[in-house]
């Protein structure tokens, strides 16, 4: 479903691969968990973190469910990006 959604939005996944957060997390990263389980698993690993509970589209598996999750996340990212100070954006 996620790959099909990426294709519908003309996103190139190319060499995109999953990685465990411990392999990529840097001290100043802002982590946004969109899954309740992921949020709980983070624990204290990510001090600067947000939790956006987004319904899991895999449960229904429909294109509409994946599109709705995309819309929720896209809206929140857009609003968050507008609120990030310029100094943070440049680093």
Is the pLDDT at 5 greater than 60, yes or no? yes
Express each pLDDT in 40-86 by its tens digit. 888 777 667 888 989 999 999 999 999 999 999 999 999 988 887 76
Closest by alpha carbon to 58, among 34, 24, 77, 32? 34
Confidence of residue 90 (pLDDT cuts 50, 70, 90): low
Question: What is the value of pTM for the model shown?
Answer: 0.74
Question: Cβ distance 14 to 75 under 8 Å?
Answer: no
């Amino acid at each position: 479903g996620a790959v099909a959604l990426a294709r519908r939005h003309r996103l190139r996944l190319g060499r995109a691969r999953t990685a465990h957060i411990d392999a990529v997390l840097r001290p100043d990263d802002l982590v946004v968990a969109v899954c309740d389980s992921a949020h709980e698993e983070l624990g204290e690993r990510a001090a600067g973190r947000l939790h956006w509970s987004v319904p899991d589209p895999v449960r229904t598996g429909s294109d509409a469910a994946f599109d709705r999750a995309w819309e929720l996340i896209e809206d929140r990212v857009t609003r968050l990006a507008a609120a990030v100070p310029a100094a943070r954006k440049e680093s």
